[in-house]
Amino acid sequence: MGERAMMPDTKIGGMDVIKLVFGTYPILHVIRLAVFFMFWPILRKLGYGLTLNQLILCSYAGLRGAVGMSLALMVCVDHAIPAVIQDIILLHISGIALMTLLINATTTGWLVNKLGLSKQSDL
């Protein structure tokens, strides 16, 4: 991705990065939280149950990257897809994986403490 982005004929620009940071990444969190809320009634009844604070943490700390990167690389080797589309898909998928590692991974501990999920149980 880095090599393709540095090519002189690349169509990726600063606007694509802005769309990633202020569009795709936040919308990903909103959609993920909406899906968790949609299935929350079922998740509360299964197993140990799922509290609201646990639901928020699951939504925020969920893994994003490995499967998406695999699918993006499959798109990248498909010659039927135009190179500009391949580059944009690779940018967004790799950008989400990078931002998840930089933002979500470094702030999850703070969120766990803020939600009160770090307290030991009596069990």
Domain ranges of the chain: 16-114
pLDDT bucket at 69, cuts 50 / 70 / 90: confident
The structure tokens 């604070």 sit at 53
Task: Assess contact for 58 and 112: CB atoms under 8 A.
Answer: no
Quote the percentage of the chain above a pLDDT of 90. 42
Q: Which pair of tokens denotes residue 7?
A: 């090519």
pLDDT digit string, tens, across residues 21-44: 999 999 999 999 999 999 999 989
Amino acid residing at 64 = R
More confident of the two residues 122 and 43: 43
Task: Assess contact for 115 and 53: CB atoms under 8 A.
Answer: yes
The stretch 72-89 carries a mean pLDDT of 88
